[in-house]
Chains A and B, each alone.
Chain A
Amino acid sequence: MSRTKTPISDEAFIAGLKSGDSLILVALYKKYYNIVLKLVVGNSGTQESAEDIYQETIIVLYEAVQKPNFVLSCQLQTFIYSIAKRLWLKQLRKFGQVSLMREEEEEQLADVQTEMQEHLQKEADLERMNQSLTTLGEPCATLLNDFYVLKLSMETISEKFGYTNADTAKNQKYKCLQRLKKQFFETNSVEA
């Protein structure tokens, strides 16, 4: 069967992103890169910054569509452009550059305030988690990752770390988790 040439609709992109369809992700990624590239490079950025901003944009979109109540209230292109613009403005401001961004002709912007706020909050949480894990050090960071992310069994973890048995590993995991909890909840958010 030959592939159809019909362009993928916004709805199909959203559905594919939701379900984690990697072909859709690739198609989406290719389709909108140039818009963001133009935006960033046209406003004092480089190709590298454009790439990074674009990837963060896709992450924001990805996070947004995972929410059960997500509805795309404008064109996908407008949504992506608006997110990218907000992210790039934020970056420029961080360097103390007053925003000198040009307004494009017939530029359409969507209201992406909610998505941006949630994204920044999430980024801040993840950053705090990173810092907590760094402070925690080894073997705790790897042990917790093995258990909660890779879902390894206590027996496997026990062998891997050379503990006498699964109970020792479990005890160790408990101690590590308590420390992580303390770190994570008692460190104030570093940046918003």
Chain B
Amino acid sequence: MRSVDLFDGYLQGTLSTEEHKQFELRLKTDLVFEQAFEQHKTLVETLQNRAKQEVFKAQLKAIHTEAFGNDARVISIKQEGFFQRFGKTAFIAASTGLIAVITTVALLSAGGYLLKRQSNEITDLKREVVELKYSQNGIVSAFTSQPAPPRYAPANLEGSGFALNNNGFIITSWHTISDADSIFIENKFLERTLAKVMISDPKLDIAILKIETDTVYKNWNVPFAYATKPSDLGEKVFTLGFPRKEVVYGEGALSALSGHYNDTTMYQVSIPVNPGNSGGPVMNEQGNIIGMIRGKLSSAEGTSYAVKISDILNSINSSNTEGLNVNVSKKGLKNLKRVEQIKRINPYVFNIMVYKEN
């Protein structure tokens, strides 16, 4: 009989009275045996505690939903179910996004009076990606109410972004990349490639990235122009972005000339957006860029915000970064039909993938 079997037998109470006696005697006299047993006990107990806690956590979740409903969870797709799988990392990542908004809003609002209300209402739109191993086991255990097996959850964030010029500069949301260790971009036309952060502007919630390898963008011909005049209320607008791995088109109208709490750096647009849309370009009928998707109001569906292109361009110009020139006199895609515009734009809208250590 192996020691392990003895340990298990003792802990489970399946040893005979005689065996039990001998076992306890040996524990007292054999130090090595005793240490091995303690180690075994710790290991098994941790295994069991882990399962117990998983069950308890699920129970608390259920109580919460029962008592207070599930409304708060509907909006933030990114945070669904994190804690059920010990997803500390994921939880932190998700909350970091919220903190990012808070920081942004804090900077925006000098008085600070509306700060907290705002921060709770605007939902960031980066997409949280959680890799699920053991997913099949997870489903099985959900039915048998067994604790879920361990899952590996390195939380990565994803968002959208678009090219600013032919020099490999890309703009995205600051809140998507704010604590990245490495950033990759990709789309159907471009294989995953590394990009680095050149400019961070948390105030506007924008970040400018640059593709590291110049061969990637040597043949670029960024087709769109930037709207030089302020846009008008009611103008039809559309966006392209990556709420999932495939580029998704969304359209609506410019519904207000300012953002949340009269923030003049933003437009309000009635485009339905989802996590992952952050950083996508917002274009008018002429296919000219009028802004970049920033976030949406969590309390109202279809109320989204876009950072105005004029503010973006000001921020870019004041940075004096070499190679970051933006051609605003371009003709753009004015005379093309929407589908043609999209075809031209598509290669220059990217899925931004953020990796974090931890």
Q: Complex formed: what's the CA distance from A174 to B68 in Å?
A: 46
Contact partner of B2 (CB less than 8 A), chosen from A42, A46, A97, A174, is: A174
In the bound complex, residues from chain A placing their C-beta under 8 Å from that of B49 are: 122, 125-126
Check: A156 CB closer than 8 A to any chain B CB. no
Of all chain A residues, which has the CB nearest B46?
Answer: A129
Looking at the assembled complex, report how far the CB atom of A169 sits from the nearest CB atom of chain B, in whole angstroms: 13
Across the interface, do A148 and B72 meet the contact criterion of CB distance under 8 Å? no
Across the interface, do B67 and A29 meet the contact criterion of CB distance under 8 Å? yes
Range of interface residues on chain A?
35 or more
Interface string of A68-103 (1 = CB under 8 A from B): 000000000000000000000001101101000000
Across the interface, do B152 and A51 meet the contact criterion of CB distance under 8 Å? no
Check: B332 CB closer than 8 A to any chain A CB. no
Across the interface, do B47 and A149 meet the contact criterion of CB distance under 8 Å? yes
Of all chain B residues, which has the CB nearest A127?
Answer: B86
Within 8 A of B (CB), among A3-32: 22, 25-26, 29-30
Within 8 A of B (CB), among A28-59: 29-30, 33, 41-42, 44-49, 51-52, 55-56, 58-59
Interface centre among A42, A59, A126, by most chain B C-beta atoms within 10 angstroms, is: A126
Check: B64 CB closer than 8 A to any chain A CB. yes
Q: Complex formed: what's the CA distance from A48 to B83 in Å?
A: 11
In the bound complex, residues from chain A placing their C-beta under 8 Å from that of B50 are: 126, 129-130
Across the interface, do B63 and A47 meet the contact criterion of CB distance under 8 Å? no
Looking at the assembled complex, report how far the CB atom of B80 sits from the nearest CB atom of chain A, in whole angstroms: 10
Given A126-B49, A181-B43 in contact, is the A33-B67 Cβ separation under 8 Å? yes
Interface string of B233-262 (1 = CB under 8 A from A): 000000000000000000000000000000
Across the interface, do A55 and B99 meet the contact criterion of CB distance under 8 Å? no
Of all chain A residues, which has the CB nearest B47?
Answer: A148
Check: A110 CB closer than 8 A to any chain B CB. no
Range of interface residues on chain B?
35 or more
Given A33-B67, A130-B86, A134-B150 in contact, is the A145-B56 Cβ separation under 8 Å? no
Given A95-B99, A126-B49 in contact, is the A174-B4 Cβ separation under 8 Å? yes
Stretch at the interface among B87-95, B159-167, B208-216: B87-95
Looking at the assembled complex, report how far the CB atom of A7 sits from the nearest CB atom of chain B, in whole angstroms: 17
Check: B116 CB closer than 8 A to any chain A CB. yes
Given A149-B51, A181-B43 in contact, is the A44-B102 Cβ separation under 8 Å? yes
Of all chain A residues, which has the CB nearest B53?
Answer: A126
Across the interface, do B92 and A91 meet the contact criterion of CB distance under 8 Å? yes
Of all chain B residues, which has the CB nearest A130?
Answer: B150
The SS class assigned to the B binding surface is helix
Check: B334 CB closer than 8 A to any chain A CB. no
Q: Complex formed: what's the CA distance from A41 to B83 in Å?
A: 19
Interface centre among B43, B53, B61, B73, by most chain A C-beta atoms within 10 angstroms, is: B43
Across the interface, do A95 and B95 meet the contact criterion of CB distance under 8 Å? yes
Contact partner of A149 (CB less than 8 A), chosen from B67, B86, B147, is: B147
Across the interface, do B120 and A46 meet the contact criterion of CB distance under 8 Å? yes
Of all chain B residues, which has the CB nearest A150?
Answer: B146
Q: Complex formed: what's the CA distance from A130 to B87 in Å?
A: 10
In the bound complex, residues from chain B placing their C-beta under 8 Å from that of A131 are: 150
Across the interface, do B47 and A134 meet the contact criterion of CB distance under 8 Å? no
Within 8 A of A (CB), among B79-128: 79, 82-83, 86, 88, 91-92, 94-96, 98-99, 102, 116, 119-120
Q: Complex formed: what's the CA distance from A141 to B133 in Å?
A: 12
In the bound complex, residues from chain B placing their C-beta under 8 Å from that of A58 are: 60
Of all chain A residues, which has the CB nearest B2?
Answer: A174
In the bound complex, residues from chain B placing their C-beta under 8 Å from that of A141 are: 134, 149-150
Given A59-B56, A97-B99 in contact, is the A52-B47 Cβ separation under 8 Å? no
Check: B39 CB closer than 8 A to any chain A CB. yes
Q: Which 5 A-B pairs have the closest CB atoms?
A: A133-B150, A47-B72, A149-B51, A130-B150, A55-B60
Show 23 A/B contacts (Cβ-Cβ < 8 Å), sorted by A.
A48-B94, A48-B95, A49-B98, A52-B82, A52-B91, A55-B64, A55-B83, A91-B92, A95-B96, A123-B88, A126-B53, A129-B47, A129-B150, A130-B50, A130-B150, A134-B150, A134-B152, A149-B47, A149-B48, A180-B43, A181-B39, A181-B40, A184-B46
Can you name 20 extra interface pairs (CB under 8 A) apart from A138-B134, A138-B137, A185-B43? A26-B67, A41-B120, A49-B98, A55-B57, A55-B64, A55-B83, A56-B83, A59-B57, A94-B92, A95-B92, A97-B99, A126-B53, A129-B150, A131-B150, A134-B151, A148-B44, A151-B12, A174-B4, A181-B40, A181-B43
